[in-house]
């Protein structure tokens, strides 16, 4: 059985990548991903659902650690390898 996510730290963030015509993609933070204690799976805690049904999970880096209550502010790479803009509020 998986350990409750409240007692473990999240390892990934869940995003919806919103494609924008003529602009960089926007990475919308949907929630957090917590590994199971046995390493065999994950609990994904979402605060919203993507409109297109696709969720992108990215590992949380040291830059993301200081304050988990605000969206990540570092650029994410889109499929073309270019940086997408930092999230905006």
Model pLDDT for residues 11-23, shown as the tens digit of each residue: 999 999 999 999 9
Instruction: Answer whether residue 72 is part of any domain.
Output: no
Cβ atoms of 19 and 79 within 8 Å: the answer is no
Range of the domain at 51: 5-61
56/51 Cα distance (integer angstroms): 13
78/37 Cα distance (integer angstroms): 31
More confident residue, 64 or 57: 57
* Environment class of 75 (CB within 10 Å of its CB; exposed 0-12, middle 13-18, buried 19+): middle
Instruction: Answer whether residue 87 is part of any domain.
Output: no
For the chain, give the mean pLDDT: 79
- Which residues is 28 bridged to in the sheet? 16
Q: What pLDDT is attached to residue 74? A: 45
Instruction: Answer whether residue 9 is part of any domain.
Output: yes
Instruction: Answer whether residue 45 is part of any domain.
Output: yes
> Average pLDDT of 30-37?
96
> Average pLDDT of 58-67?
81
Instruction: Answer whether residue 37 is part of any domain.
Output: yes
Number of domains into which the chain is organized? 1
Instruction: Answer whether residue 86 is part of any domain.
Output: no
Cβ atoms of 76 and 28 within 8 Å: the answer is no
């Amino acid at each position: 059985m998986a350990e409750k996510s409240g007692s473990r730290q999240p390892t990934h963030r869940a995003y919806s990548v919103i494609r924008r015509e003529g602009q960089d993609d926007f990475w919308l933070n949907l929630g957090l991903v917590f590994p199971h204690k046995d390493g065999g799976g994950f609990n994904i805690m979402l605060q919203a659902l993507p409109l297109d049904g696709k969720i992108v999970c990215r590992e949380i880096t040291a830059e993301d650690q200081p304050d988990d209550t605000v969206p990540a502010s570092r650029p994410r790479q889109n499929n073309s390898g270019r940086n997408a803009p930092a999230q905006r509020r």
